[in-house]
Amino acid sequence: MHIGVFGAGLVGTGWSIVFARGGELVRVYDASDAARNQVLDDVAGRLADLKCVGLLDDPEAILSRIEVCTDIAAVIEGAKYVQESVPERLQLKQEVSRQISRLLGPGTVVGSSTSGIPASSFTEDLPNRDRFLVAHPVNPPYLVPVVEVAPAPWTDPMAVETAMAVMSGVDQSPVLVRREVEGFILNRLQGVLLREAWALLDEGYASADDIDKTIREGLGLRWSFLGPFETIDLNAPGGVREYAEVLGPLYHSIDASRSDPKPWSEALIAKAEAEMRAKVPAKELGQRRNWRDRRLMALAAHKKAQEG
């Protein structure tokens, strides 16, 4: 049996690496000829980078487990799991889910790579809706292992177990979102930080670069191996309770000061964009993303070396 990947863009290509690296046979489909033609070259380049930092030994073997298909049925039929990774548009998700549903074999589970669209909004009318759920990755998934598994209210618990097992089996770190919530867990946490970052920039407390530096050279160093609860548990002699008793009032006061959320204004977006483009011109964004991925590879290699 194989794993099907529907959608061969940035995320779908990343998923192909995850599954093939985990030993699975992978069949990939995309409606775009250009996307299909690019998949194997993109995968080969990323595998070469991963080998350079010691994160894998045999890129050729991994690449050989990926087959790009021009026929949807070849990807969906007979798959033990399907990862849908089309762009984040509700109508497109609904249309693609219907296509997949018509070809789905018994027992096959479908996970959707969506950052915030709940599974209930694009699977409600499917006859086999109990086998659809969200499996939200962090980009790129072959370097950032967390996956949010978020079922719809009607998703079969066995489908959830299957998705969690598939992700664990290819060395991802699945997180179960117990019931649907907008943005799931990761983007709700990220959203809180972004809200404050935009507000601090808007109110002139710091530049975008200094706000980034506070995370990059401060909180982010701890957050690369600790979560927020363990971070505060270790930041007070008596653990999380002492931290909450001493600093809880401060955080409550900060929360209260942001009781009127506002959308990001055009002027504020332009301000942030000007700072970002002064640092990295638009034509160099692709190079900067590659730099980011290489830094993530180095971090992943370091964390792997420290596991023992």
Q: Rounded to an integer, what distance in angstroms lies between the CA atom of residue 224 and that of residue 213?
A: 15
Cite the beta strand spans of the chain per DSSP E.
Answer: 2-6, 26-29, 66-69, 79-84, 109-112, 132-137, 146-151, 173-176
The reported pTM is 0.87
**In order along the chain (308 residues), what is the average pLDDT of each group of 10 residues?**
95 96 97 93 94 91 96 96 95 97 95 94 96 95 95 97 98 96 92 94 96 94 90 90 92 87 90 93 91 89 79
Contact indicator for 3, 81 with CB cutoff of 8 Å: yes
Contact indicator for 114, 134 with CB cutoff of 8 Å: yes
Q: Rounded to an integer, what distance in angstroms lies between the CA atom of residue 118 and that of residue 91?
A: 13
* Number of CB atoms found within 10 A of residue 146's CB: 15
Read off the pLDDT of residues 126-157 as tens digits, 9 standing for 90 and up: 999 999 999 999 989 999 999 999 999 999 99
pLDDT value of residue 308: 54
